[in-house]
Amino acid sequence: MKIGILTSGGDCSGLNAVIRAIGLYAYSNIKNAEIYGIPDGYGGLIRGEYFPLKKDVLSGILDRGGTILGTSRQPFKQMTVVSESGESRLDKMCANYKKAGFDCLFTLGGAGTHKTAALLCMEGCNVIGLPKTIDNDIYGTDITFGFQTAVEVVTDSIDRIKTTAASHGRTMIVEIMGNKAGWLTLHSGIAAGADMILIPELPFEPEKVCEFVSENLKKGNGYNIIAVAEGALPASEVKLKKSERTFVRSARGETTASMHLAEIIQQQTGSETRVSVLGYLQRGGTPCAYDRLLASRLGGFAGQLAKEGKFGVTVAVSGSKITFNALSEIAGKYKFVDPNGQIVSFAKSIGIGFAD
């Protein structure tokens, strides 16, 4: 069986652990397994590039961050656009899949990667997806690999920010990745004991944020930690189209809600307020033990699906079990935080503010 593996979209910790597990499974359990890495995600497949992933290449990468294959973002919308040569990117990928003689393609990626994987399946390629993202927003799986490592990194960062916030008696806004979904902000915010959590799923009222900060200070709490997802929205911006929101923010020289919120807090409460954007720290570095185990189990399971000839699926976690979903069922869907769900209700019950 000739197997291709690619990693697509934003990277995260655990990608190499998955690649290794697919390889270890296939070399031990699939007759005549030949494994190839496709560089730079779908970019490599579009260009028809691949290279052998021999056993020695898979050795020593379990705990390595990033991806040994490289990755790139290839917007889904452009996949079916026909170029001057009369071919779309999708046409090129299918042609290159066939030319390489692949029997199976593993696509490690997030929601966008899964949409393209579903298209490839419809065109006759044998695809198995694996759910990667620090955002934890892939539909149909309880958790994605890379998420827990990011939770650890963000929690540790907030812990550190807390000590300087306490020393100076400041309000600290910590901006955390997650454009559409607030999972990372919610989990790490709770784990780090943030006072307030602002996520895209619960638009916030700046006035309520200020009231909360003032109340907190009145109670004698010398500082405030506000965990803010990069996609958090003030209620006034909910009805704006994406382009209108970008326009409003770029007029202030900003892309997210954090800086403006900091100005409002400082003006209205008098609390000295600072913003700390965690950025790509959240995507880098060695995977935590949880992610190493999860990534290994997902990769091994994906290998087993290939052996059984089960294609057009993506591996998923349901409870404590590893399972799979049809790509056609999950493509184009997201898993969001339920504003009325158990974890938000719990957070509210212990006094964490959401300003919604």
Closest separation in Å from C-beta 167 to ligand F6P: 30
Closer CB to ligand F6P, residue 126 or residue 155?
Answer: 155
152 in contact with ligand F6P (CB under 6 A): no
Catalytic residue, from 40, 63, 91, 135: name it.
135
177 in contact with ligand F6P (CB under 6 A): yes
Closest separation in Å from C-beta 177 to ligand F6P: 3
Closer CB to ligand F6P, residue 58 or residue 294?
Answer: 294
Per-residue x/- marks for ligand F6P, 73-102, CB under 6 A? Answer: x-----------------------------
Please report the sign of the dihedral spanned by the C-alpha atoms of residue 188, residue 190, residue 194, residue 200. positive
178 in contact with ligand F6P (CB under 6 A): yes
Per-residue x/- marks for ligand F6P, 16-55, CB under 6 A? Answer: ----------------------------------------
Closest separation in Å from C-beta 181 to ligand F6P: 8
Kind of pairing between the strands at 51-52 and 34-37? antiparallel
Report the residue from 179, 246, 250, 267 that binds ligand F6P according to the rule CB under 6 A.
179
133 in contact with ligand F6P (CB under 6 A): yes
- Main-chain dihedrals φ then ψ at residue 213, nearest 5 degrees: -65, -45
Closest separation in Å from C-beta 179 to ligand F6P: 4
Closest separation in Å from C-beta 273 to ligand F6P: 23
Per-residue x/- marks for ligand F6P, 214-233, CB under 6 A? Answer: ----------------x---
110 in contact with ligand F6P (CB under 6 A): yes
Span from 87-95, 128-136, 201-209, 344-352 in contact with ligand F6P (CB under 6 A): 128-136
Helix/strand/coil (H/E/C) assignment for every residue in the chain: CEEEEEECCCCCCCHHHHHHHHHHHHHHHCCCCEEEECCCCHHHHHHCCCEECCHHHHCCCCCCCCCCCCCCCCCHHHCCCCCCCCCCHHHHHHHHHHHHCCCEEEEEECHHHHHHHHHHHHCCCCEEEEEECCCCCECCCCCCECHHHHHHHHHHHHHHHHHHHHHHCCEEEEEECCCCCCHHHHHHHHHCCCCEEECCCCCECHHHHHHHHHHHHHCCCCCEEEEEECCCCEHHHCCCCHHHHHHHHHHCCCCCCHHHHHHHHHHHHCCCEEEEECHHHHHCCCCCHHHHHHHHHHHHHHHHHHHCCCCCEEEEEECCEEEEEEHHHHCCCECCCCCCCHHHHHHHHCCCECCC
Closest separation in Å from C-beta 114 to ligand F6P: 12
Closest separation in Å from C-beta 135 to ligand F6P: 5
Instruction: Give the Å distances, CA to CA, from 220 to 214, 223, 294.
Output: 10, 9, 42
Instruction: Give the Å distances, CA to CA, from 41 to 11, 50, 177.
Output: 10, 11, 21
Query: With contact defined as beta carbons under 8 Å apart, do 34 and 15 qualify?
Result: no
Span from 36-44, 174-182, 257-265, 291-299 in contact with ligand F6P (CB under 6 A): 174-182
Span from 131-139, 158-166, 292-300, 344-352 in contact with ligand F6P (CB under 6 A): 131-139
Per-residue x/- marks for ligand F6P, 275-314, CB under 6 A? Answer: --------x-------------------------------
Is-catalytic flag, 356?
no
Residues annotated as catalytic (active site), given as ranges:
135
The residues of the shown chain that bind ligand F6P, judged by CB under 6 A, are 10, 73, 110, 133-135, 177-179, 230, 283
